[in-house]
Amino acid sequence: MKNKSKFRKSYIRRLIFRIVIFIIMIGIYIFYPNTFKVAKGLNFIKEFSPLHIIWLIWMIDMILQLCKVPKYWPLGSQKYLKHRYIPNIKELDKKTIKLHMKEMTKSSTSVAIFWLFVIALISTLYLTHLISYQVVILISVAFYVCDIICVVGWCPFKTFFMHNKCCTTCRIFNWDHAMMFTPLIVIPGIWTYSLVIMSLIILIVWEVACAIYPERFMEKTNCALQCHNCKDRLCGK
């Protein structure tokens, strides 16, 4: 049981770490709001601030995801890779696969539309000066925390949109970084745009793999995603 729950324990530790980061960022916002200016324009290369450390943490996180580090990322994040694919002996016909992928794409499209609405709302609040750019950054940090809550706790996307069984079978598992950092797109700067671009690269890699190898994303065609073969146990069961 200890080996089967190692990823869940790891994610709980990540949640605690991210909550600490969020609290620190709120403290910086309250006492040293000017520190956030490093996120705007070319300030990233002009002076050092704690936001450089946050940037580095996020960048390393995304690089590890692209580098396919198995000990750091669970199957749900790496199911698009060939070595994480266990073909089902009872192969489904192409028509069945296409139909199932159509249903999954419909659900993921609903998530994308909803998230575009969220980004549009945040952008409107910022452009109308109802919230500051510092608050936009704090929103991204809040999403950074919520991402892990969706894994170890309750996931609204699973409940209201995807209706998937667990994170391992989730069609949008690797959308996390793109969803975290897209709010930053309204703040022009090296700090913000580098995070957005890197997150979109991960999203593109994921979506291209899904389009080319849909069988790797389906529990019916990829036996690795089935409960009896799951070693990650992110669900806690």
pLDDT digits (tens, 9 = 90+) for 71-98: 788 999 999 999 999 998 776 677 777 8
pLDDT digits (tens, 9 = 90+) for 184-226: 999 999 999 999 999 999 999 999 999 999 999 998 889 999 9
pTM, entire model: 0.93
Residue with more model confidence, 6 or 136 = 136
Q: Where are the domains of the chain?
A: 6-229
Report residue 11 as tokens. 């994610």
The mean per-residue pLDDT over the stretch 16-39 comes to: 97
CA distances from 153 to 81, 150, 160, 180 (A): 26, 5, 15, 18
Burial of 235 (0-12, 13-18, 19+ CB in 10 A): middle
Residue in the structure block whose two tokens are 């995304």: 62
Residue with more model confidence, 2 or 129 = 129
- % pLDDT > 70, the chain: 97
The mean per-residue pLDDT over the stretch 17-34 comes to: 97
Q: Are 92 and 220 in contact (CB under 8 A)?
A: yes
For 127, other C-beta atoms within 10 Å of its C-beta total 10
Q: Are 236 and 8 in contact (CB under 8 A)?
A: yes
Residue 80 has phi, psi (to 5 degrees) of -75, -10
What distance in Å separates the CA atoms of residue 74 and residue 78, rounded to the nearest whole number?
Answer: 7
CA-closest candidate to residue 50, choices 77, 26, 28: 28
